[in-house]
Structure 1
Amino acid sequence: MSVQVRSMETADKDAWLALWAQYNEFYKRTIPTEVTDVTFSRFLDDSVRMYGAVAVDKSDNNKVIGFVHWYPHQSTSSINEVVYLHDLFVDPNVRNKGSGRMLIEHVYEHAKSIPASSVYWHTQYFNHRAQLLYTKVAQRTDFVHYQKTL
């Protein structure tokens, strides 16, 4: 397998949708079609600071095998922006071959170019497999996440 990470393109939508469905199923959430369509369009809109990249297997006709989404924002604890890595997913059939790490490192490189002071993300407590990677590429914090749906 020969993997490359690149910015998302319009032609990636169908492959992304298939992975997006698996991602949302894993997290036991339903995202309305309208939200999914707007989200994808944001990745392609240069005026929106929400980014998407895909991992493609160059040895398999550039098949999309994973994605990452992120966006920078201002912070009260830094002059530079920080970057929130919002979504990361790799096809379960090709995991443990470095694609997830490459996707995260792609975000790191973009964050450095802004420049941002840090990249952060959340994961479910039960996502142990992903946490095996996360502990190798970042430091776990002690924060607890709260949310109120409006």
Structure 2
Amino acid sequence: MSAVTIRLLAATDRAEWARLWTGYLEYYQTSVPQAVYDGTFARLTGDDPQNFNCFLAEVDGRPVGLVHYLFHRHCWKIENVCYLQDLYADPSVRGQGVGRALIEAVYAAADANGTPAVYWLTQDFNETARRLYDRIAQVTPFIRYNRKL
């Protein structure tokens, strides 16, 4: 595989971003309405890059991965923290450094923003990704709960 290049999402990336995000959602056996695609892309390419962002990973000029991340306040810290919300590598490039490069790009963006704390969630069955995460991050004992609707 050629070298992985990481860059910020651009307004011209809509189709490739949608393809990758659809792959991510399908991996987790879910989908979202078109209005969510539209709203999310508008936020990612809008005028508030300090809070909601996306990097694309490219190989030979072709997008093969994405990561969404955002900065937010935290009651236990003065500085903001960074939540890495969605991470996806196309199945054709998994195990070739795309995920790691995307996470490291988020780490660098967080450091540049004065936001050294970066965290994310994953499903317990996501064993392939967890092997990477165990090498570059620390697992915590927290269990997530969602409001019952």
State TM-score, norm by structure 1.
Answer: 0.94
Letter in 2 for 1:8: L
Could you tell me how far apart the structure 2 residues matched to 1:30 and 1:16 are?
15
Q: Give the equivalent residue in structure 1 for 2:16.
A: 15
1:117, distance to aligned residue in structure 2 (A)? 3.3
Q: Give the equivalent residue in structure 2 for 1:39.
A: 40
Matches within 5 A, 1:82-101: 82-101=81-100
Q: Give the equivalent residue in structure 2 for 1:6.
A: 7
Q: Give the equivalent residue in structure 1 for 2:123.
A: 124
**Where in structure 1 are there 5+ consecutive unaligned residues?**
none
Structure with higher strand content: 1
Q: Give the equivalent residue in structure 2 for 1:25.
A: 26
Secondary structure class of the residue paired with 1:80 = coil
**Where in structure 2 are there 5+ consecutive unaligned residues?**
none
1:149, distance to aligned residue in structure 2 (A)? 5.3
Matches within 5 A, 1:57-96: 57-58=59-60, 62-96=61-95
Could you tell me how far apart the structure 2 residues matched to 1:149 and 1:121 are?
22
Give the alignment's Cα RMSD to 1 decimal: 1.1
Letter in 1 for 2:131: L
CA 1:149–1:46 in 2, change beyond 3 Å: closer, same or farther? farther
Could you tell me how far apart the structure 1 residues matched to 2:19 and 2:132 are?
23
1:46, distance to aligned residue in structure 2 (A)? 2.2
Q: Give the equivalent residue in structure 1 for 2:53.
A: 51
Letter in 1 for 2:16: A
Secondary structure class of the residue paired with 2:47 = coil
Could you tell me how far apart the structure 2 residues matched to 1:99 and 1:30 are?
23
CA 1:118–1:94 in 2, change beyond 3 Å: closer, same or farther? same
Could you tell me how far apart the structure 1 residues matched to 2:31 and 2:128 are?
22
1:26, distance to aligned residue in structure 2 (A)? 1.0
In the alignment, is the contact (CA less than 8 A) between 1:78 and 1:117 conserved in 2?
A: no
Secondary structure class of the residue paired with 1:38 = helix
State TM-score, norm by structure 2.
Answer: 0.94
1:11, distance to aligned residue in structure 2 (A)? 1.8
Quote the sequence identity (%): 38
Could you tell me how far apart the structure 2 residues matched to 1:38 and 1:45 are?
10
